Amino acid sequence: MIVNVSKAKTNLSKLIDMAYLGEEVIIAKNNVPLVELVAHRPKPKRKLGLLAGKIEIPDDFMDEDDVINSMFYGESR
């Protein structure tokens, strides 16, 4: 169903119900389709720890490196 903005303003509740029930609702301006009204679908919760046991971080990971420090700060450090 394509509805112009002025009709969409007066019938918004009805259009929301239609979109929620799965009907295609498109809002147009001057008969040019602009937006589609769709039902909200919540995103699933993120799973933490997907790489647990699959990667190994070395013990010296957080240690400073003289070569990298000289690139950032120069030789004076």
Q: Give the model confidence (pLDDT) of 26-77 as tens digits.
A: 999 999 999 999 999 999 998 888 888 898 889 988 999 889 989 999 876 5
Give start and end residues of each alpha helix (H) in the chain: 5-10, 12-20, 66-73
Model confidence pTM above 0.75: no
CA neighbor of 37 nearest in space, from 73, 2, 77: 2
Q: What is the pLDDT of residue 8?
A: 96
The residues that bridge with 28 in the sheet, in sequence order, are 4, 33
For residue 76, the model assigns a pLDDT of 64
Residues 10-23: what's their mean pLDDT?
96
Distance, CA of 44 to CA of 60 (rounded, Å) = 36
Nearest to 29 by CA among 50, 3, 47: 3
